[in-house]
Amino acid sequence: MKKIILMLFSFIALITIFSTASVTAKPPLKKSSKKIIVIDPGHQQYANTDIEPIGPGAIKTKYKVTDGTHSPYTNKKESILTLEASKMLGNTLKKRGYKVIYTRTKQNVNISNRERANIANKSNADLFLRIHADGSINKKEKGFSILTTSSKNPYISKSVNKASLVISNEIIQKIEKNKKVKDIKGIIYRDDLSGANWSKVPGVLLELGYMTNKEEDKKLADPLYLKSLTKSIADGVDQYMKKK
């Protein structure tokens, strides 16, 4: 009997040692493996007309940040629309497992385009998405477009430029499949955008549509349309991340 009790005790002791061992042997918590996406809702309540270079080493300067376009029909500011669309896009991306960081979540801020790019750089973002809407003196002008850097851009690395073009293509393909989006201007190359030129991570600027076009402005004011549009953008992001 003594022997059995002794065996039982050693058995319990052994289990205790093993269970403690398994606790202490647990690997340290891994750093989040989530992909990081920085979303920049374009513009802000008030412009900051101080200047900053348009890229590292650039002589050419631009306003730090402007207050954007607005709807001549409802007076809605671009900075409000970009905030709405960014939050929708961000929520969709969070649900799909991405870590989302916004450059701003309210109107009354003062963050230059260079500083916005720096937020993406410091966050070590996998992607930097800048959300904007267009405006034109020609009220007939309309359509979704993506602004990305050209292969001749002197401010950013070749790999960032290449990756930015890949993400542009992925997003535009998903937008083309979205039947709600009637007009698509496509990909436009721009090397004068401070927010892109100061960025060390791949990114694009999405022009959701024209607020100065009555038909498109009405669509952009509809949350269901914005939801559908931002879902297509998220689909493009997924596609890009899959190939990475």
Q: Which residues bind Zn ion (CB under 5 A)?
A: 42, 68, 132
| C-alpha dihedral, 120 to 241 to 79 to 205, nearest 10° | 80
Alpha-carbon span 230 to 174, nearest angstrom: 10
Give, in order, the Cα–Cα distances in Å from 142 to each of 42, 58, 74: 19, 32, 17
- Which residue's Cβ lies closest to Zn ion? 132
Shortest distance, CB of residue 26 to Zn ion, whole angstroms? Answer: 49
Is the CB of 114 or the CB of 132 nearer to Zn ion?
Answer: 132
Shortest distance, CB of residue 124 to Zn ion, whole angstroms? Answer: 26
Shortest distance, CB of residue 152 to Zn ion, whole angstroms? Answer: 23
> Which residue has 């989530």 as its token pair?
34
Is the CB of 32 or the CB of 75 nearer to Zn ion?
Answer: 75
Shortest distance, CB of residue 43 to Zn ion, whole angstroms? Answer: 6
CB burial class (10 A; 0-12, 13-18, 19+) of residue 179? exposed
Cα 35 from chain centre: 11
75 phi-psi bin (left φ>0, alpha ψ -120 to 50, beta other): left
Cβ 55 vs Cβ 195: under 8 Å: no
Shortest distance, CB of residue 133 to Zn ion, whole angstroms? Answer: 6
Shortest distance, CB of residue 56 to Zn ion, whole angstroms? Answer: 22
Cα 185 from chain centre: 20
